Structure 1
Amino acid sequence: MNKHDSERIAGLLSECHFQETLEIGQAEVIIYNTCSVRENADNRLFGHLSQLASLKERKRSLKVVVAGCIAQKMKEDLLERSPHVDIVVGPNDLGALPHLIRMSEEKKARLCQARDKPQQEITSLPSKRKSAFKAWLPIMTGCNNFCSYCIVPYVRGREHSRPFEEVLTEAQELVDDGVVEITLLGQNVNSYHDGNGRGFFHLLEAVSQIEGAKRIRFATSHPKDLSPEVIDLIAQRENICNHIHLPLQSGSNRILSHMNRKYTREHFLHLTSLIQERIPEAALSTDIIVGYLSEEEEDFWDTVDMLKKCRFDQAFIFEFSPRPGTTASMMEDRISKAEKQRRFRMVNDLQKEISWQKNRSYIGRCITVLVEGRSKKDPGEISGRTDNNKVVNFPGSSELIGKMVSVKIVDAGAFSLKGIAHVPRRTTSHENCVIFKGELQRISD
């Protein structure tokens, strides 16, 4: 969601004749668009802000803006804590940012605008996409779940779904603009409803029927709301990507109840079994929290057991840190930092091994990759993603960026695959081939 908000900010300021710069010393306005889900995000922000002291001293006209969830959470307190910040603007007030910058300059004032309810639909703001061929498409904002550890409902507000036809119109516009991959976006997309009896299944089905929509993703799902109908739809539609992010958080029923997650480990296992049965090529990713409040050793081992049973392709693992304002922050955190770190290492090591094993199964296969850019680690390679969200690096020209390329996988690590661009020779037989989301690809020459 924050990445999309950043594109909205860029689009808004571009319309006001601002130009982006990669050189911080050239900037007239520096904007930090923040996330407050994890404690380290707060720490990073204040670390960056403290480094601006000398720059602000040399360039007194410089405006420093903090936007996003930390801005919404702290409001005026952020101005008090950081003397280098000129403007605080919450996610519900992004449309006011040009006015706030102008007023701060004219009045030489430090300003805060972070209201609890949207003053303007953020979807009505212009967007300046970072990619010509990938786009975020928000379908809803906010969250009604109030998990005990989560700050999101307090900073993003309650669930609000966009009108059905409005989403379809924007999706069609993106396809007409040459976008290859659309990601339907929301804190919990499965809670989408338009007020006329149409939910996420109907929306996903309608978007997938748009002519020219080549890849459709969605993020994020809540295990209590993901339906068998959506799983079946993914299996049936070639252009809906075979990747589902399904946050587990804990494998212990006791801890899940304490977290107010509203599902059990048994329900979660049923979901993953259903996905694996109906979408064999599906990749599953998840979120895990270790060291949550009163997590006993038995609770922790329940989580380890779930990792072994579910065999996720990827897991984002976090040590629990209470966020001020949440239910969990009012309770005693009995797990020491050292113990949280021990549990983190154990889960992380296990997941790396599982990810490596699963990625190794792709060696020798040919899969379709949407090339996203140059590889971050090797300038001689390009990098992209499969429809089930596997990162693939392979030698190639920048001319391939934005294109679908068939790649033969030759090696694999825990986090990515390595391959070579592959042009299959002509064949009249299906021998040595694999069906991968509706496409016939040769495994070997």
Structure 2
Amino acid sequence: MSRQKVYFKTFGCRTNQFDTQVMMSRLKDFELCLEESEADVVVVNSCTVTNGADATVRGYINALRRRHPEVRVVLAGCGAHSKGEELLKQGKVHGVMGHSEKERINEILHRPEGFYEIGDLEHVDSTVVSEFVGKSRAFIKIQEGCNFRCSYCIIPFVRGNARSHDEEQILEQVRRLAANGFGEFILTGTNVGSYGRDRGTSLAKLLKRMSQIRGVRRIRIGSLEPIQIDAEFMELLAEPWMARHLHIALQHTSDRMLELMNRRNRYPEDLKLFETLAAKGYALGTDFIVGHPGEGEAEWREAMERIDVLPLTHIHAFTYSPREGTASTSLELPRPRGDVAKARHRELTEAIRQKNLRFRRSHNEGLTVLVETQRQDGLYQGFDQYYNKVLIESSEDLNNTWVYLAEVEAGERENHARFTL
């Protein structure tokens, strides 16, 4: 009897991408497939960070059921906690499984009847992932959950409080992946910078130990909070294995807005930190929420004046989306109309695009790129140490190789180069 085929559809963050790899590695009695059309079961690893994320997941499930009405759909990820019960009752999915149940996926998928296995928000993974299907970079989840309670955010309620993975388990995972040819590692989690606080260690100590493993060439770090960049972390910035890009979540640059968001950072300290990091040669990205309740024209103009001063190179901008169960929804404050919020989003992203272009023009020599894919037009694509995309023309096979580029040309949205041996 042939084994049932399972396809994974992953939405959202790098943590979800890692969780998908955990589930893939636990499939013992099923066959993994990389094409949705071949699947008997589709596991949807969902994101629920915004209303838009929920809508995207729901839209995918509805379209999937129209395309393949016979397929069994299983909802996993953050959306399992926020929307799983509703989708199960509506008959949109065959089953729902929470974060803590993903290591039991092989057992759960055997069930012929519908199921709701939501589990708990205290679980810490024990799986050591040795391979990443279809990836050239390896994602390493080092912690789960968040102790912050930002007023707009639902994630602590679907991921739980901050808890760190065992350091030896993390290092064993890196050793196995490095032995399998992976050289770039991306540390991920719900709140990466909180790593180790519950175990008497720190992110900086983990980074030092990781860097000593044979084969580790570059380490990137997921989103950090400004207050988590301490003196111990700063001592690592000159290390050759540190990617020259940090993503530091500000969420806004108006102090009034930061207070309304229940954030722990304020602009004067943020500016000092960013200027220090930029002086050390780092590209700097951030998250920014546009259109939160209380964001009037005065707050927006102040925010953009400060954006102009900050040495930013990358941005992940969101338009505020009310999330049931969060404090922001109860704020009795006006928020910008949808068209105003969209215009502000465009203004912000264009400002950062111009900053990124200026940065790439002044950092266009001596770039080290891990080539990830070859596009349909024949160009190879990867990211340099500053997390800028580079398109490479070459007659060589560059897939999954490291390429040193003496010089690149800074295009409007990415760098361009030719490579010959």
Q: Same fold (TM over 0.5)?
A: yes
Instruction: Report how many residues are paired.
Output: 406
The structure 1 residue matched to 2:76, chosen from 48, 67, 72, is: 67
In the alignment, structure 1 residue 7 sits paired with structure 2 residue 21 = yes
In the alignment, structure 1 residue 100 sits paired with structure 2 residue 108 = yes
Partners of 2:370 and 2:400 within 8 A in 1: yes
Corresponding residue of 1:438:
none
In the alignment, structure 1 residue 251 sits paired with structure 2 residue 260 = no
SS of the aligned residue for 2:391 comes to: strand
Corresponding residue of 1:346:
347
Partners of 1:255 and 1:295 within 8 A in 2: yes
Q: Summarize deviations over 1:384-426 as a string: whole Å, max 9, x none.
A: 1112211110112573222211224443234311111166xxx
Corresponding residue of 2:192:
189
The structure 2 residue matched to 1:18, chosen from 31, 40, 47, is: 31
Map 1:30-179 to 2 at 5 A.
Answer: 30-55=42-67, 57=69, 59=70, 62-81=71-90, 83-103=91-111, 105=112, 109-118=113-122, 121-124=124-127, 126=129, 128-131=131-134, 133-179=136-182
Structure 1 CA distance for aligned equivalents of residues 76 and 396 of structure 2: 34
Corresponding residue of 1:388:
386
Q: Aligned pair in 2 of structure 1 residues 2, 132: CA closer, same or farther (>3 Å)?
A: closer
The CA deviation at 1:20 is: 0.7
Structure 2 CA distance for aligned equivalents of residues 353 and 305 of structure 1: 15
Corresponding residue of 1:335:
336
SS of the aligned residue for 2:285 comes to: strand
Q: Aligned pair in 2 of structure 1 residues 379, 112: CA closer, same or farther (>3 Å)?
A: same
Partners of 1:56 and 1:84 within 8 A in 2: no
What is the alpha-carbon root mean square deviation over aligned residues? 2.0
Where does structure 1 lack aligned partners over 5 or more consecutive residues?
424-445
Structure 2 CA distance for aligned equivalents of residues 53 and 207 of structure 1: 43
Q: Summarize deviations over 1:66-104 as a string: whole Å, max 9, x none.
A: 1100112223122124x231011122211232222211x
Corresponding residue of 2:41:
29
Structure 1 CA distance for aligned equivalents of residues 120 and 157 of structure 2: 9
Q: Summarize deviations over 1:352-381 as a string: whole Å, max 9, x none.
A: 222222222244x23221111113xx5221
Structure 2 CA distance for aligned equivalents of residues 77 and 52 of structure 1: 18
Structure 2 CA distance for aligned equivalents of residues 329 and 128 of structure 1: 41
Moved more, 413-422 or 124-133: 124-133
Partners of 1:8 and 1:127 within 8 A in 2: no
Q: Aligned pair in 2 of structure 1 residues 334, 389: CA closer, same or farther (>3 Å)?
A: closer
Corresponding residue of 1:230:
233
Percentage of pairs with the same residue = 28
Structure 2 CA distance for aligned equivalents of residues 56 and 208 of structure 1: 46
Q: Aligned pair in 2 of structure 1 residues 99, 211: CA closer, same or farther (>3 Å)?
A: closer
Q: Aligned pair in 2 of structure 1 residues 386, 42: CA closer, same or farther (>3 Å)?
A: same
The CA deviation at 1:225 is: 1.3
Corresponding residue of 1:315:
315
Q: Aligned pair in 2 of structure 1 residues 404, 126: CA closer, same or farther (>3 Å)?
A: closer
**Match for 2:73: what amino acid?**
V
Moved more, 42-51 or 397-406: 397-406
The structure 1 residue matched to 2:413, chosen from 415, 420, 425, is: 415
Q: Aligned pair in 2 of structure 1 residues 132, 303: CA closer, same or farther (>3 Å)?
A: same
The structure with more radius of gyration: 1
Q: Aligned pair in 2 of structure 1 residues 203, 128: CA closer, same or farther (>3 Å)?
A: closer
Structure 2 CA distance for aligned equivalents of residues 95 and 211 of structure 1: 28
Q: Aligned pair in 2 of structure 1 residues 54, 36: CA closer, same or farther (>3 Å)?
A: closer
Q: Aligned pair in 2 of structure 1 residues 404, 21: CA closer, same or farther (>3 Å)?
A: closer
**Match for 1:4: what amino acid?**
F
Partners of 1:52 and 1:84 within 8 A in 2: no
Where does structure 2 lack aligned partners over 5 or more consecutive residues?
1-14
Partners of 1:93 and 1:118 within 8 A in 2: no
Q: Aligned pair in 2 of structure 1 residues 133, 346: CA closer, same or farther (>3 Å)?
A: closer
The CA deviation at 1:132 is: 6.0
Corresponding residue of 2:4:
none
Q: Aligned pair in 2 of structure 1 residues 249, 194: CA closer, same or farther (>3 Å)?
A: closer
Partners of 1:72 and 1:115 within 8 A in 2: no
Map 1:243-322 to 2 at 5 A.
Answer: 243-277=245-279, 279-280=280-281, 282-322=282-322
TM-score by length of 2: 0.90
Structure 2 CA distance for aligned equivalents of residues 214 and 54 of structure 1: 45
The CA deviation at 1:193 is: 1.4
Partners of 1:319 and 1:341 within 8 A in 2: yes
Partners of 2:182 and 2:215 within 8 A in 1: no
**Match for 1:391: what amino acid?**
K
Structure 2 CA distance for aligned equivalents of residues 100 and 410 of structure 1: 50
Partners of 1:95 and 1:125 within 8 A in 2: no
Q: Summarize deviations over 1:261-288 as a string: whole Å, max 9, x none.
A: 11110111111011122x22x1111111
TM-score by length of 1: 0.86
